[in-house]
Chains A and B, each alone.
Chain A
Amino acid sequence: MSEDLNQNISQFMDNELEHAEALLLLANLNAQPELQHKLNRYAAISHALKSGVYLEVKADFLDDIAQQIQQEPIPVPIVEKPVAFKQAYPWLVLAASLAMIALLTEQRFNSQFVIPAATLQMAQRWLPESSDLNKRISLYLKEHRSDAYAQSQDEVKPYSR
């Protein structure tokens, strides 16, 4: 056991090791039971000074836990969706689908099919501002403004509603 490692154990006990060094030490502790024993002895001494009782961790404490958690599933964080989102989800799917169809149809066939702006605006409300689809919907809505004819703007496509 090197003196450097033991000194790191002493610092680790005092929460005085830098992040990267602490991770490296933990990896060493996990791999070498005698290093864990050293840490547990330092901790037992510290506790005994404050409580008057010397209490050391048993040798197979970690191994027993490690064996048990191998049988356990991974504790993946549960992401809660907002209630409003859950209720609007079917409509969101419909709106997003219609938006995609409109845009893809518009671009590929240059057809005269137009979907209501309100539907696209509803879909847009639920999309992240930076998403590609959101930007394309904005462009589409801009190009199909209902006041296009009144403004006489050349870039506006016909058949707006």
Chain B
Amino acid sequence: MTIHDLIKRAEVIPLPRNSQQLDEELVSRVQRGDKAAFDFLVIKYQHKIIQLVNFYVKDPSEAQDVAQDAFIKAYRALGDFRGEAAFYTWLYRIAINTAKNYLMLRARRHSDYQLDIQEVEALGNAPQLQGLETPEQLLLNEEIMTTLNKAIEALPEEMLVAFKLREFEGLSYEEIAVAMDCPIGTIRSRLFRAREAIDKQLTPLLE
């Protein structure tokens, strides 16, 4: 998936209305002085922003610092947020601009980082270009991906189908329930159990 796919997915496939309403309420609370409401927004979007920034920065550790910077900038700019765009697209734009500024500053400091922004975007999404540069990092990532794929294939069929329809096709719970001809509650449970089963297999590698 390219950066354009990430942005396009955010803009063309809008978040569900209840998710946008939640964002609007949290933004409104922050604007009225409730700083803890901003923590909620960070929790909700931190992994998406880090992943987006890492696409530009190509270094997971630095991506987290740049992402934090993006959230601080977003907080400061919340007074200017009018709600014309959805909060998450507004946040994504700030994150992208912050990442691009970081790359330009880095390029000025280190002559070996002479990468054009277009070149960065064109480089694609290979693990070797996501900041996993040392053999140890690449090896660990390979092990994680192998374990992940094995864990998925070991899922019972009904869990596997629900999981793939959600993760790879992006279907809502309601759509999956219709596709699999079962109640939404069953889908909810299957997806949760699938994630738990995969997480359990990954834990020994990560801790």
Contacts and interface: CB of A to CB of B under 8 A. Distances in A.
Q: Which of B22, B25, B81 has most chain A Cβ within 10 Å?
A: B22
Nearest to A40: B47
B42 interface: yes
Nearest to B37: A26
Given A15-B15, A16-B173, A45 B198 contact: yes
A69 B80 contact: no
Given A15-B18, A55-B51, A39 B145 contact: no
Contacts, number: 161
A69 to B, nearest CB: 5
Contacts of A26: 40, 43-44
Interface in B1-56: 1, 15-16, 18-19, 21-22, 25, 30-33, 35-36, 38-40, 42-44, 46-48, 50-51, 54
Interface of A: 6-7, 10-11, 14-19, 22-23, 26-27, 29-30, 36, 38-58, 61-62, 64-66, 68-70, 72, 74-78
Given A6-B196, A15-B19, A61-B64, A44 B47 contact: yes
Contacts of A64: 68
Contacts of B25: 19, 23
B127 A53 contact: yes
A43 B144 CA distance: 14
A54 B1 contact: no
B42 A7 contact: no
Contacts of B192: 6-7, 10-11
8 contacts: A10-B195, A16-B173, A17-B18, A23-B40, A47-B51, A48-B144, A50-B168, A53-B125
B48 to A, nearest CB: 8
A67 to B, nearest CB: 10
Given A16-B188, A54-B141, A42 B199 contact: yes
Contact of A14 (B48, B173, B189): B173
Interface size class of B (residues with CB under 8 A): 35 or more
Nearest to A23: B22
Given A39-B43, A48-B148, A55-B51, A75 B71 contact: no
Interface SS, A side:
helix
B183 interface: no
Given A43-B47, A45-B199, A52-B145, A16 B189 contact: no
A76 B79 contact: yes
A53 B80 contact: no
Contacts of A56: 206
Interface in B169-207: 172-173, 188-189, 191-192, 195-196, 198-199, 202, 206
B85 interface: no
A19 B18 contact: yes
B72 interface: yes
Contact of A65 (B15, B42, B77, B152): B42
Contacts of A19: 18, 21-22, 25
